Amino acid sequence: MLQEESDLSLIIAQIVQKLKGSNLYSQLERQAWASLQRPEIKLESLKEDIKEFFKISGWEKKLQNAVYSELSVFPLPSHPAAPPEHLKEPLVYMRKAQGSWEKRILKSLNSMCTELSIPLARKRPVGEQKELLNKWNEMGTDEPDLSLFRPVYAPKDFLEVLINLRNPNYENGDSLSFRTHLGLIQVPLKVKDIPELKECFVELGLNIGQLGIDDSTQVPPELFENEHVRIGQKVLAEQDSAAAQQYIRQGSPTALRAELWALILNISSQPEDVLYYEQLKTNVIQHDLLVDSLIYKDVKLTASNDDYYFVFEDYLYQVLLCFSRDTSVLSHFAFNSASPPKSYIRGKLGLEEYAVFYPPNGVIPFHGFSMYVAPLCFLYHEPSKLYQIFREMYVRFFFRLHSISSHPSGIVSLCLLFETLLQTYLPQLFYHLREIGAQPLRISFKWMVRAFSGYLATDQLLLLWDRILGYNSLEILAVLAAAVFAFRAVNLMEVTSLAAAENLAAHSEQFCTAPLFPELYRVQIPCTAELRQKEECSLLDSKSHSTEQRS
């Protein structure tokens, strides 16, 4: 038996195993039983007839979508000898760093508990439960005293940890040499270069239509927009996840976006899902968590202050408070380098039967966490659906932005990709910023950690998140961050301080994301010598380059 074949069998076996526990499985079983009534199902050819029935009725497509979803989310089965922690994170030093970071967070939370004399969790008295239930749709009107609470950490603190990451086996000498990393990230992870990015993001090429550029008012809709919308409607009619994921790489029409994202994330609001959400709501009513106050504080500090998102404040509480109680989120820790914090029931310290996770979903929110949810409020208004979409986005993508891992979509790789792109293609700018004490990553880090939420206008942000879904990767965040610097290169060369650089770069809202992607590719085109001449011009003669962009 060749190894590749047994690998495939193992993957299939794993997927079947996972799906066996799902709603879809029981639905398929019920449908199969019900189909026996149908005249076209004959006993002699039972198996084939039922398969045919599934194909015609659309159930096979639902199964395909579920399989596709599993393949997108769960990593391939690893070597049989590999322990579970290897699947979380293969590099030992990264695991250790994540462990130390987590310990610091736990200590911080514990000290907050002791200082404020507030328990991590408590059961609400009946009166308080009733009150909260009545206020459920307007929790934003509550003005609890949050002055004593502070966020457990901010992206800045996390960046310091990443800067200090070292591979103990990596020798790059004490003296500055060509091998020393000029940027802040000092670990030698493999990141894509521009030729590889071009290959990967081929649909973002200059010769392919994009929503965000080619649907602007100057461009006649017959050229691209109409056809693209038509294809989108067809994809939705077919209910094909894989096709939707491919389609959305060129951006999603606003009217179709909510459905397309739900299709790609394989989310269909079943009665069981609504019930599950209601159960989570009950958990919120019954138990009060310290983490709730952190969530309140975060929403008040970030989303409520944002022009685009303050209207959704109540939704944010309804999603995030429930999220903290959702134990189904725990399963993603199998492939997350992070681990859920542990605690013991009061008085039962050390007794494993009384060991629990805290919060129940194992995720401690940090400053800005609510911004992962805010943009979704534009798309989904039904709380349980909004909740499901956010949860799926978190366990597929967002968790990688605040845990230390070597994954290509992990924040460490994104930082390194950003720095490498900038150093390679804008070396003068990189050197200049470094000289004035404005390391570019210090400016762009917060953009990437929040997936640009709050830093881009919402319509632009949703176009960006279209691509995250389409490519099933967060690398686009690093590319965009580098493109922002490329776009502002001329002005950035003139700044003399970190503050000025931050200020300049922060006004990102004034331009579109979509044109920025071809912008970066324009920096290097693998072509004949003649074209190479042109592109060298555009690097040196940045003034004409940027005026060209603005028109």
Partner 1 sequence: MSRVLVPCHVKGSVALQVGDVRTSQGRPGVLVIDVTFPSVAPFELQEITFKNYYTAFLSIRVRQYTSAHTPAKWVTCLRDYCLMPDPHSEEGAQEYVSLFKHQSPSVTFPKWLSHPVPCEQPALLREGLPDPSRVSSEVQQMWALTEMIRASHTSARIGRFDVDGCYDLNLLSYT
Binding residues vs partner 1 (CB under 8 A): 2-5, 7-14, 16-17, 20, 76, 78-79, 81-82, 86, 90-92, 103, 106-107, 109-110, 113-114, 119-123, 167, 169, 171, 187-190, 279, 283, 287, 325, 327-328, 341-346, 349, 352-358, 360, 406
- Least separation in angstroms between CB 91 and partner 1: 5
Q: Which long-range contacts (CB under 8 A, 24 or more apart) does 242-245 make?
A: 242/64, 242/65, 242/68, 245/72, 245/469, 245/470, 245/472
Measured from the CB of residue 85, what is the shortest distance to partner 1 in angstroms? Answer: 11
Distance CA 371, CA 309 (A): 9
Instruction: Collapse the DSSP code of 306 into the 3-class scheme (helix H, G, I; strand E, B; otherwise coil) and give the result.
Output: coil
Q: How far apart are CA 375 and CA 469, in angstroms?
A: 14
> Which of 444-477 are b and which e, b meaning 16 or more Cβ less than 10 Å from the residue's Cβ?
bbbbbbbbbbbbbbbebbbbbbbbbbbbebbbbb
Distance between CA atoms of residues 290 and 295, nearest Å: 9
Question: Least separation, in Å, of the C-beta of 70 and partner 1?
Answer: 13
Shortest distance (Å) from residue 42 CB to partner 1? 22
Task: Report the DSSP pairing between strands 121-123 and 287-289.
Answer: antiparallel
Q: How many other CB atoms sit within 10 Å of the CB of residue 59? A: 19
The dihedral built from the CA positions of residue 506, 507, 513 and 516, taken in this order, carries a sign that is: negative
Q: How far is the CB of 531 from partner 1 (least distance, A)?
A: 28
Please, which residue, 292 or 519, has the CB nearer to partner 1? Answer: 292
The residue whose two tokens read 């349980």 is 384
User: Using omega within 30 degrees of 0 as the cis cutoff, is the peptide bond preceding 359 cis?
Assistant: yes
Output the smallest distance, CB 287 to partner 1, in A.
5
Cβ of residue 22: shortest distance to partner 1, in angstroms? 13
Q: What are phi and psi of 164, to 5 degrees?
A: -90, 5
For partner 1, the closer CB: 70 or 313: 70
Least distance (Å) from partner 1 to the CB of residue 112? 11
Which letter does DSSP use for residue 76 in this model? P
Amino acid at 138: E
DSSP 456: B
CA distance 23 to 140: 34
Measured in degrees and rounded to the nearest 5, phi and psi for residue 330 equal: -60, -30
* β strands within 213-339, DSSP E: 287-289
**Least distance in angstroms from the C-beta of 214 to partner 1:** 32
